[in-house]
Amino acid sequence: MALGEDGMAARHSEDTTIHAETMLSVVVPTYNESKNIHEMVNRLDAALKGILWELIFVDDGSPDGTADIVRAIAREDRRVRLISRHNRRGLASAVIEGALAASADIVAVMDGDLQHDESVLPDMYRQVRDGEADLVSASRFLLADGAKGLSSAKRAAISNNGIKLSNLIFKLDMTDPLTGFFVVRRDVVRRALPDLSELGFKVLMDLIVSARPRPRVVEVPFRFRERKHGASKLDNRVMYEFFLFFIEKRISSILPLPARFISFAFINSIGILVHLAVLFPALLLLGNRGAGDGFVSAQLVATFVAMGFNYTVNNLVTYSDRQLRGAKFYFGFLVFATLCSVGILGNVGVASVLHEDYPTLSVFIPAVAGALITVVWNYVATNAFVWGRAKYPSIMVRRRASLKHAGDQQAA
């Protein structure tokens, strides 16, 4: 029975057996999709008649109350489940967590914005169930008007360019390797796990490229609907993530570096150029003001600006799924600056020792060794203590709240 808008659902006659006999697990990552939850459950209930299904919402801490709505539905309909994530975000990781938590051996993945046409799910499920494919993806480009739901020309251009690059670079032959709508055997996900990208550019393509052997893939057409509520999560970062994904996959057989480290190192390399771009104007300005040759002061200014650039861009791009905001952003920068200062000392120390102990070496070698020490240290330390454990403001807020609560109790 379909759900009403008040969130109360009639107990489905199949509820008592879903945990033992679930045939299809549908995984839906969500972030601020509260207006779509009821309708999504209703649509799946209508589309999946005759299939024992469960619906797993994986919510990344939506501030609009998405998780509360799912919980309310789940209390009445045992087919609906919630994975509520704390302090982490990301579409690809949400899909993987949902797939690994699935009860069924066959998993469907679709967006929570109602743009994916659920009516094609039974056919996709049937093809995987009957062994016709290991993975069936729904393509927006197999119908003449299938992609009309793309919200802008810019979004269409990003999608089209990504498709062309994906097919060329990873030797695919798909009309839509970047779709987020597919059905897959859960064992394909397990096989792909060791080699999945840390950032997760597009989870479908990552699963196909990472699983060994590669899964048998079939595409089916569907019409991509226009979004009713909320906003698209697709932005310019997707092309940067594609660049990282390509580099990571290409070098993984030689040097298994995670995409996050590649991004961190790349941004820090640009930070060196920022440092130099600030240093020379600062030298001229401070020198003209009578600050000696002004080098030390200019170096400090350039270092601070470059450090701020590295921190801000890494927070926006490399750690977009753990992005620090508000008070956490400023506390995070203090920790970042402190840890990076240790990295600078390590750089100078290692380079100096190598230069003194091996004077015949070109100065380039100690310099590079010192720089590598800095990058590795900065990445490991800030990954753990800035974007991994930067919780000072929340601790302070909780502390203030507990003191206020204690004061209120005393007053009472």
- pLDDT tens for 285-299 read 876 554 455 667 777
Helix (H) or strand (E) holding 84: strand 80-84
Whether cis (ω within 30° of 0) applies to the bond prior to 258 is no
405 belongs to a structural domain: no
- C-beta of residue 55 within 8 angstroms of C-beta of residue 73: no
Measured between alpha carbons, how far is 185 from 136 in angstroms, rounded to an integer?
Answer: 9
pLDDT band for 392, please (50, 70, 90 cuts). very low
- C-beta of residue 136 within 8 angstroms of C-beta of residue 216: no
pLDDT of residue 170: 85
26 belongs to a structural domain: yes
Lowest pLDDT segment from 43-47, 75-79, 404-408: 404-408
Residue 344's identity, in one-letter code, is: I
Give the CATH number, domain containing residue 54. Answer: 3.90.550.10
Q: Are residues 263 and 225 in the same domain?
A: no
Say yes or no to pLDDT of 254 above 70: yes
Q: Are residues 99 and 79 in the same domain?
A: yes
pLDDT band for 390, please (50, 70, 90 cuts). very low
pLDDT band for 227, please (50, 70, 90 cuts). low
The residue to which tokens 């600056």 are assigned = 337
144 belongs to a structural domain: yes
Question: Which of 16-30, 148-162, 207-221, 244-258 is the most confident on average?
Answer: 207-221
Residue that wins the pLDDT comparison between 23 and 11: 23
Domain end call among 231, 251, 271:
251
pLDDT of residue 295: 67
Report the Cα–Cα distance between both ends of the chain, in Å, rounded. Answer: 49
7 belongs to a structural domain: no
Could you list the beta-strand ranges (E) of 256-334.
none
Phi, psi of 311 (to 5 degrees): -65, -50
Q: Are residues 67 and 113 in the same domain?
A: yes
Q: Are residues 232 and 364 in the same domain?
A: no
177 belongs to a structural domain: yes
Q: Are residues 288 and 243 in the same domain?
A: no
- The Cβ of residue 102 has, within 10 Å, a number of other Cβ atoms equal to 21
Q: Are residues 239 and 284 in the same domain?
A: no
pLDDT of residue 33: 93
pLDDT, the chain, mean: 81
Say yes or no to pLDDT of 257 above 50: yes
User: Which structural domain range is residue 84 located in?
Assistant: 15-251
pLDDT of residue 359: 77
pLDDT band for 323, please (50, 70, 90 cuts). confident
pLDDT of residue 236: 59
The residues pairing with 139 across neighbouring beta strands, listed in sequence order, are 221
In tens, the pLDDT along 329-368 reads: 999 999 999 998 888 777 667 767 776 778 777 766 776 6
Domain end call among 187, 222, 251:
251
Q: Are residues 241 and 266 in the same domain?
A: no
Say yes or no to pLDDT of 5 above 70: no
Q: Are residues 29 and 152 in the same domain?
A: yes
105 belongs to a structural domain: yes
pLDDT of residue 137: 97
pLDDT of residue 25: 98
DSSP string over 286-307: HHHTTSTT-HHHHHHHHHHHHH
pLDDT of residue 145: 65
Q: Are residues 44 and 104 in the same domain?
A: yes
Say yes or no to pLDDT of 11 above 50: no
pLDDT of residue 317: 87
- C-beta of residue 26 within 8 angstroms of C-beta of residue 56: yes
pTM assigned to the model:
0.71
308 belongs to a structural domain: yes
Say yes or no to pLDDT of 77 above 60: yes
Could you list the beta-strand ranges (E) of 148-290.
182-185, 217-221
- C-beta of residue 234 within 8 angstroms of C-beta of residue 157: no
pLDDT of residue 400: 40
Q: Are residues 85 and 196 in the same domain?
A: yes
Q: What is the mean pLDDT of residues 28-52?
A: 95
Percent of the chain with pLDDT over 70: 77
Say yes or no to pLDDT of 17 above 70: no
- C-beta of residue 87 within 8 angstroms of C-beta of residue 58: no
Phi, psi of 150 (to 5 degrees): -60, 125
Q: Is 198 helix (H, G, I), strand (E, B) or coil?
A: coil
Q: Are residues 195 and 311 in the same domain?
A: no
406 belongs to a structural domain: no
Measured between alpha carbons, how far is 364 from 372 in angstroms, rounded to an integer?
Answer: 12
Say yes or no to pLDDT of 195 above 70: yes
Q: Are residues 35 and 168 in the same domain?
A: yes
The two three-digit tokens of residue 279, written as one number? 């240093």
Number of folded domains in the chain?
A: 2
Percent of the chain with pLDDT over 90: 42
Question: Which of 77-91, 205-219, 314-328 is the most confident on average?
Answer: 205-219
Q: What is the mean pLDDT of residues 106-117?
A: 94
